[in-house]
Amino acid sequence: MKLNFKKLGQGKPLIILHGLFGSADNWLTIARDLESEFTLYLVDQRNHGDSPHSDEWNYQVMAKDIAELMEDEGIDTAFIMGHSMGGKTAMNFAMLYPEKVEKLIVADISPRHYPVHHERILEGLNAVDLENSKSRKDADEALAEHINSAPIRQFLMKNLTRKDGGFAWKINLKTITENIEEVGTALESDNTFDKPTLFMGGAKSDYITDKDREDIDRFFPNSHIIHLKDAGHWLHAEQPDAVARTIRAFLVEQNA
């Protein structure tokens, strides 16, 4: 699977993986803050953004996609970071390819199982009549019947693109809908990842709780957990400066 990605900056490679329904562009603001210190790879995971679509969609194959990208780019080791679904990909990658990871950052997700909670979003996305939508406004109005939040709709609408005179979703909506349970699966491995690991949560989010510490310590014994003030699950959008500072402190300043 040849993933689409954006590359910018200079320095040690830092690969950043977005969350569900997201894309590489979600982390562009953070990347521009860090590009003087790292070569950043902002990746569209399979079935997202401009990367290929596939019926096969789980964390094992998504981790292998990252390994293939690193091989293609001649990267022996990298800093790996992922948010939400991307964090699950990053954790699985660290278990499968520990020799390729220098340090790991997991943003607002833990190794545990998460129940499906995207039903309304999927209902809304599937309800959009792409063939008969004349404008992005038509699509937004259809989404609004299922999703009240304008910021969430704005985020989802980034996946809407023009195609053959009409509209299409960049995401592989069919496969994601049919396999949505895969997003919440728990990390399963007999291995541990012993290199430095940071779990960075939002103080207003419940994705990383005190109850998750046992699982985190079991899989990632050389880890610590922080929660960013005034940030929820979308911490990179809500507190971009704090996220960039935290990444820099963990990856650079701790090595000084």
Judgement on whether residues 131 and 191 belong to the same structural domain of the protein: no
Confidence of residue 132 (pLDDT cuts 50, 70, 90): confident
Judgement on whether residues 98 and 128 belong to the same structural domain of the protein: no
Judgement on whether residues 145 and 220 belong to the same structural domain of the protein: no
Judgement on whether residues 148 and 234 belong to the same structural domain of the protein: no
Does residue 193 come out as left (phi exceeding 0), alpha (psi in the -120 to 50 range) or beta?
A: beta
Confidence of residue 18 (pLDDT cuts 50, 70, 90): very high
Query: Domain ends where: 178, 204, 228?
Result: 178
Judgement on whether residues 67 and 194 belong to the same structural domain of the protein: yes
C-alpha 190/C-alpha 253 separation (Å) is 32
**Please, which residues have CB within 8 angstroms of residue 134's CB and are 6 or more apart in sequence?**
none
Judgement on whether residues 239 and 191 belong to the same structural domain of the protein: yes
C-alpha 228/C-alpha 34 separation (Å) is 18
pLDDT, tens digit, 9 for 90 and up, residues 150-177: 999 999 999 999 887 789 999 999 999 9
Judgement on whether residues 74 and 189 belong to the same structural domain of the protein: yes
Judgement on whether residues 17 and 76 belong to the same structural domain of the protein: yes
Predicted TM-score (pTM) of the model is 0.96
Judgement on whether residues 9 and 87 belong to the same structural domain of the protein: yes
Tell me the CB-side half-sphere exposure of residue 81, using CA atoms within 13 A.
28
pLDDT, tens digit, 9 for 90 and up, residues 92-107: 999 999 999 999 999 9
Judgement on whether residues 43 and 79 belong to the same structural domain of the protein: yes
Q: Give me the helices (H) in the chain, please.
A: 28-34, 59-72, 85-96, 119-127, 136-144, 150-157, 173-178, 213-219, 235-238, 240-251
Question: What is the tally of structural domains in the chain?
Answer: 2
Judgement on whether residues 135 and 78 belong to the same structural domain of the protein: no
Mean pLDDT of all residues in the chain? 95
pLDDT of residue 157: 96
Query: Domain ends where: 135, 152, 178?
Result: 178
Judgement on whether residues 220 and 104 belong to the same structural domain of the protein: yes
pLDDT of residue 233: 95
**CA 94 remoteness from chain centre:** 15
- The residue-averaged pLDDT of 53-73 equals 98
Which residues are the active-site residues? 84, 233
pLDDT of residue 254: 62
C-alpha 81/C-alpha 251 separation (Å) is 11
Between the alpha carbon of residue 30 and those of residues 149, 222, 241, the distances in Å are: 24, 25, 8
Confidence of residue 256 (pLDDT cuts 50, 70, 90): very low
According to DSSP, residue 12 is labeled E
The whole domain housing 129 covers: 119-178
C-alpha 151/C-alpha 173 separation (Å) is 20
